[in-house]
Structure 1
């Protein structure tokens, strides 16, 4: 009898192991949302939410770190179940996206430190100016729709700030977290205007069949907003409140 019972238990354990699901997430490294630290551990708000939801469903998460174009190729080839922060136009047809606010890209305006302005008031104050524009960035629609300034293409944030410090552009829109070290390196030649300009809602694109993951992300986002975690997170990393992130144009 004992052998029969243990055999049954072993069969159940093996069956459960066979059914255990691994969700493959492809992401471009983005501190503080999803990244691998110096010890090789995956960290960040987005990573923690995905791992928490997976644990609740006895699943595990495997992270791949590639460029966004690389992640789109992985998804198209069936080698990724989730693409972190994919644009709506690049999301594979039929894939799911979470909608509840969680991950945002909050943008400030950076200008030359020689200018008298100290605070951002409205986009119209940049009329006629040269704005650094990184084509691969998914800017908020209020910025995309503006026609009263001149876009000057830049390959990335570092190049945008170098152009600003060198007088080749007049304005850079970017977030505090990504730019604080760059601004210090430029020795006070650029400054951040007070006041948030806009924010962009970044979503997870999830393959069909993983509705439980999308729904779990939504529930976890609601919980983190309710318990004040998102307030603390955005104040710590972006120097803006959660309320400010939600209040500005998207």
Structure 2
């Protein structure tokens, strides 16, 4: 009888195990894609993969380089959820892990021959033509500014190319990824320091059951130092030290 009960428990556990499917943009060092275009590593990927493995699940992160489309896939139930949602972009139909696994650092960027060499305040860009990326949950200091001429693009890379070509005068985004793109594409862009803002981003989940399990497990991984281990692996710094930014 005991043996039969154990077998039944194992079968039920196996039946409940599944692959959790999330979507995200490629955002280094948090998500990297392989030669086949699949996201297979990165800080956020590795933390979630470990957390879900501990819960008996697998992880698949599909690259969707349109933020609004990615969130729509999770919110309509076509996927289990998505990564990198800010407080501004949260939906009442989704559940959010309480522990942010990354912070979106926002630095102003200008053409490399611009007279601007340092960020002092938002007002120094009054009247500028700025590029914004659709679906991004910008903080109020950026989202509510009425003194810019705004042009929107569906992908951040399009804004960076436009800035390099002087079709816009300002773009504000993550300096880590920007530095890699500037080098890779030989763009004529200058990143200004210090940062304009730094905001936490969150994993959003459709299922309340999965949310509760994953939320608890991620907190455990933070307490055990696993999150710091992953940050050290990719950046050489702890989570806390990495948050100080590249300009300090």
Aligned to 2:111: 112
Number of residue pairs matched?
Answer: 239
* Unmatched tracts of structure 2, length 5 or more: none
For the pair 1:220 / 2:236, whether they are aligned, the reply is no
Q: TM-score, normalised by structure 1?
A: 0.75
Aligned to 2:243: 242
For the pair 1:20 / 2:30, whether they are aligned, the reply is no
Q: Deviations over 1:168-222 (max 9, x none)?
A: 3221112223323443467573211232221232211112112011222234345
1: CA distance, partners of 2:119 / 2:177: 19
Aligned to 1:97: 96
Aligned to 1:53: 51
2: CA distance, partners of 1:161 / 1:26: 23
181 and 84 in structure 1: CA distance in 2 versus 1, 3 angstrom threshold: closer
2: CA distance, partners of 1:47 / 1:26: 11
1: CA distance, partners of 2:52 / 2:227: 21
For the pair 1:75 / 2:56, whether they are aligned, the reply is no
| Equivalent position SS for 1:203 | strand
1: CA distance, partners of 2:123 / 2:236: 27
Q: CA RMSD of the aligned region, Å?
A: 3.4
27 and 11 in structure 1: CA distance in 2 versus 1, 3 angstrom threshold: same
35 and 148 in structure 1: CA distance in 2 versus 1, 3 angstrom threshold: same
2: CA distance, partners of 1:77 / 1:156: 22
1: CA distance, partners of 2:181 / 2:77: 37
2: CA distance, partners of 1:56 / 1:180: 35
Structure 1 residue 47 displacement after superposition: 1.3
Q: Deviations over 1:80-116 (max 9, x none)?
A: 2222224567655442112333212212211122234
Aligned to 1:180: 179
**Is the Cα contact below 8 Å between 1:234 and 1:242 reproduced in 2?**
no
2: CA distance, partners of 1:113 / 1:125: 17
1: CA distance, partners of 2:143 / 2:80: 29
**Is the Cα contact below 8 Å between 2:102 and 2:200 reproduced in 1?**
yes
Aligned to 2:141: 142
| Equivalent position SS for 2:213 | helix
**Is the Cα contact below 8 Å between 2:128 and 2:170 reproduced in 1?**
yes
| Equivalent position SS for 1:218 | helix
Structure 1 residue 137 displacement after superposition: 2.5
Aligned to 1:208: 208
Aligned to 1:34: 31
2: CA distance, partners of 1:185 / 1:197: 24
2: CA distance, partners of 1:24 / 1:226: 21
Structure 1 residue 57 displacement after superposition: 2.1
| Equivalent position SS for 1:106 | strand
* Unmatched tracts of structure 1, length 5 or more: 246-250
